[in-house]
C-alpha cells in the first residue's frame, strides 16, 4: 500500500496562497508471500519454496513473471557474486485457487525465471519449486540464505517477497578405523585407531550419550584404551569382555568438537574442516 500527497497553490498580484495537503492511498491489488518448507538447509537435501500471489482486485493479470535470485549474494574484494541455491530441474508446480495447472515455462534457472502466469481476479496463485544448497551456501553459526522473488507484469508495480533459511544445526558424525601393524606375529601387539569426525556446526557433547562399540576378533588381551590422548579406565570409561572381544564405551565419555567453515576468497566456495576426536585401543592378539 502506497500513500501519496498533493497540495495546490494559488498565485495572484504577487501573492501565493497554498491549499491544505490531501493524502490518499493506492490500494495494491496483488500481494506476494514466500516461505520455505524447511527453515534449515543442508548440502544433501532439497528444500521446497512456496510463492503465493493473492489478487484482491476485480481485474485479472496475465503474462505475469516471477524472478527468483536463489539467494545470490556478493563476497570478497573486489566484490563478486555467487548463487548458493541450485534449482532442481522440472520441479516447478503451478496452482490457481488450489487447482493444479500445467507447469509454466522456466526461461532461466539462474536466476530462476518463471513466465506465463495468470492471476485471476479475486483469486490466488501458488508456485512451488525445489532447490538444493550448493558449495556457495554459507556455513557456520551466523550463516543464512535469503532468496527473493520479484513478481512483475503489466498493470501493476513490481512486488517482492523473501524467504530466509539457516544451516542445519546439529552434530554430523562419521568414524574411520585403522590397524597398525597390518601383519603381526601370534601374541603380538596391535593398535586400533578410531577417528571420529564431526561435520556439523554443533559439538557432539557428553550429554548426547555417544556410545562407541567394537568386537575385536581375535579378542585382545592386556587391553589399553585412550581418548584424545588421555588414558581410559575399565569400568569408568568403558567395558571390555576379554572372552568375547566386545568393547563398549560408557555414556558421556565421548565428545567431538564442531566443524569449522572457511570460504575461499577467490571462488566463494565454502569448505568444511571437521572437528576430530580419536580413540586408540591396543592389545595382544593371543
Q: Map out the domains of the chain with their CATH numbers.
A: 26-167 (2.60.40.740), 173-285 (2.60.40)
DSSP H helices, the chain, are none
Q: Is the pLDDT of residue 60 over 60?
A: yes
| 130: its cell numbers | 525445489
pLDDT band of 65, cuts 50, 70, 90: very high
| 61: its cell numbers | 493479470
Strands 173-180 vs 159-167: parallel, antiparallel or unpaired = unpaired
CA dihedral over 97, 101, 103, 104, signed as positive or negative? negative
Q: Is the pLDDT of residue 25 over 80?
A: no
What are the tens digits of pLDDT across the range 157-205?
999 999 999 999 889 999 999 999 988 888 899 999 999 999 999 999 9
Q: Is the pLDDT of residue 91 over 90?
A: yes
Whether this prediction's pTM lies above 0.75 is answered by yes
Amino acid at each position: 500500500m502506497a500513500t501519496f500527497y498533493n497540495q495546490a497553490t494559488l498565485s495572484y498580484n504577487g501573492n501565493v496562497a497554498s491549499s491544505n495537503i490531501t493524502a490518499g492511498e493506492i490500494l495494491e491489488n496483488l500481494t506476494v508471500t514466500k516461505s520455505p518448507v524447511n527453515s534449515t538447509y543442508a548440502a544433501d537435501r532439497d528444500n521446497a519454496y512456496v510463492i503465493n500471489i493473492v489478487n484482491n482486485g476485480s481485474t485479472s493479470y496475465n503474462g505475469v513473471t516471477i524472478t527468483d535470485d536463489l539467494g545470490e549474494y556478493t563476497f570478497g574484494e573486489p566484490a563478486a557474486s555467487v548463487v548458493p541455491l541450485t534449482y532442481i530441474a522440472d520441479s516447478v508446480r503451478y496452482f490457481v485457487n488450489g487447482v493444479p495447472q500445467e507447469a509454466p515455462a522456466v526461461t532461466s534457472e539462474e536466476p530462476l525465471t518463471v513466465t506465463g502466469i495468470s492471476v485471476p481476479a479475486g483469486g490466488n496463485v501458488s508456485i512451488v519449486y525445489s532447490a538444493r544448497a550448493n558449495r556457495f551456501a554459507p556455513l557456520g553459526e551466523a550463516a543464512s540464505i535469503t532468496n527473493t522473488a520479484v513478481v512483475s507484469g503489466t498493470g501493476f508495480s513490481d512486488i517482492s517477497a523473501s524467504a530466509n533459511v539457516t544451516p542445519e544445526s546439529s552434530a554430523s558424525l562419521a568414524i574411520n578405523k585403522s590397524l597398525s601393524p597390518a601383519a603381526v606375529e601370534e601374541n603380538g601387539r596391535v593398535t586400533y585407531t578410531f577417528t571420529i569426525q564431526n561435520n556439523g556446526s554443533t559439538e557432539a557433547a557428553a550429554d548426547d550419550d555417544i556410545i562407541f562399540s567394537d568386537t575385536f576378533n581375535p579378542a585382545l588381551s592386556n587391553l589399553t584404551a585412550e581418548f584424545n590422548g588421555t588414558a581410559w579406565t575399565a569400568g569408568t570409561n568403558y567395558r571390555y569382555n576379554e572372552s568375547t572381544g566386545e568393547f563398549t564405551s560408557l555414556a558421556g565419555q565421548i565428545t567431538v568438537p564442531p566443524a569449522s567453515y572457511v570460504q575461499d576468497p577467490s571462488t566463494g566456495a565454502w569448505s568444511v574442516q571437521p572437528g576430530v576426536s580419536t580413540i586408540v585401543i591396543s592389545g595382544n592378539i593371543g
